[in-house]
């Protein structure tokens, strides 16, 4: 299982032209060495410069340089917000020399997120949809990073359900 996951990660890194295999050994990869996965995450982030810069503007807490735990913390937070997924590893666990499968999955999800953002950016550039998205982004109020994202989405979902309930009540009153 671990070798199959590493094969997927290796394929994605090779598609980016990753050439830092001299700094990353197979033993480090399979043991879950934090510095190894921090290098891989940095390589993925640097391979998508426009999308990484856009994410850094959107999330001021996103750090790429610095210590490995800070990078892991910001990448895990980014994946939970942008990827809408619950990450199975915590930043403190990232600092330990184990959990190789979870760290590989984080790198794969980071690659997938950035490649999806890159594809969206390339395919919507210069279109009316991009202009509408930009106008919508300006219209949405800024919520600080301290705001709990899950509470925000829960509130939005409850508002949507309340609107549907009112519409159904109105429909039933007419009958």
pLDDT value, residue 103: 87
pLDDT value, residue 25: 82
pLDDT value, residue 82: 84
Percentage of residues in the chain with pLDDT exceeding 90? 1
Rounded to an integer, the average pLDDT of 157-166 is 81
Contact 55, 82 (CB under 8 A): yes
What are the backbone angles phi and psi of residue 29, rounded to the nearest 5°?
A: -65, -50
Question: d(Cα 138, Cα 24) in Å, to the nearest integer?
Answer: 42
pLDDT value, residue 145: 45
pLDDT one-digit tens code per residue, 36-94: 888 899 999 999 999 989 888 898 888 888 788 888 888 888 888 887 677 788 888 88
């Amino acid at each position: 299982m671990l070798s199959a996951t590493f094969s997927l990660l290796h394929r994605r890194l090779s598609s980016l032209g990753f050439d830092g295999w001299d700094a990353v050994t197979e033993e480090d990869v399979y043991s879950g060495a934090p510095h190894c996965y921090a290098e891989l995450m940095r390589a993925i982030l640097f391979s998508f410069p426009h999308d990484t810069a856009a994410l850094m503007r959107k999330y001021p807490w996103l750090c790429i340089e610095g210590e490995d735990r800070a990078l892991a913390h910001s990448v895990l937070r980014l994946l939970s917000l942008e990827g809408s997924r619950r990450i199975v590893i915590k930043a403190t666990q990232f600092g330990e020399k184990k959990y190789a499968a979870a760290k590989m999955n984080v790198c794969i999800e980071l690659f997938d997120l950035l490649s999806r953002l890159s594809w969206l950016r390339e395919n919507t550039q210069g279109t009316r949809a991009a202009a509408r998205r930009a106008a919508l982004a300006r219209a949405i109020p800024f919520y600080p990073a301290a705001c709990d994202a899950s509470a925000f989405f829960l509130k939005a979902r409850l508002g949507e359900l309340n609107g549907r309930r009112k519409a159904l009540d109105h429909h039933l009153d007419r009958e």
